[in-house]
């Protein structure tokens, strides 16, 4: 029985994709940059192989697509939170009212973070 060096790379990428999924589902986004670097290295090594057929990489495609969907979801969540924080900041700094004709007007609050001393 001969040992296939290409299969070792495939197995390593397969394990890395499983690890990436675990990190994404646990919400540990801070671990993603290190995984991305390792994934890029493995993909570059696989791309450098001349006799690698697409069929051998097919099982990894599903995992990569699954992880991409998880990444997209995480990014949507981060954007939603950022938008919500922006809205809350805007609400905190303005007061929107309507006049008797129905026109909206905004009153901006001026925050003076000065401490006033009185004798």
pLDDT score at 54? 83
pLDDT score at 1? 46
Residues 1 and 115: their CA atoms lie apart, in Å, by 81
Q: pLDDT at residue 16 above 50?
A: yes
Least confident of 45-54, 57-66, 80-89, 107-116: 107-116
Q: Give the pLDDT confidence of 67-85 residue by residue, as tens digits.
A: 999 999 999 999 999 999 9
- Mean pLDDT within 19-23: 97
Contact call for residues 70 and 37 (beta carbons, < 8 A) = no
DSSP state of 117: P
Contact call for residues 94 and 88 (beta carbons, < 8 A) = no
- Mean pLDDT within 90-108: 81
């Amino acid at each position: 029985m001969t040992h296939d060096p290409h299969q070792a790379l495939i197995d390593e990428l397969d394990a890395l994709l499983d690890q990436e999924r675990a990190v994404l589902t646990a919400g540990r986004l801070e671990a993603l940059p290190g995984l991305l670097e390792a994934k890029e290295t493995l993909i570059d090594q696989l791309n450098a192989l001349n006799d690698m057929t697409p069929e051998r990489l097919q099982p990894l495609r599903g995992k990569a697509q699954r992880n991409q969907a998880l990444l997209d979801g995480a990014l949507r969540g981060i954007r939603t939170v950022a938008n919500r924080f922006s809205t809350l900041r805007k609400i905190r700094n303005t007061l929107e009212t309507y006049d008797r004709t129905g026109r909206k007007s905004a009153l901006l609050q001026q925050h003076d973070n000065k401490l006033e001393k009185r004798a």
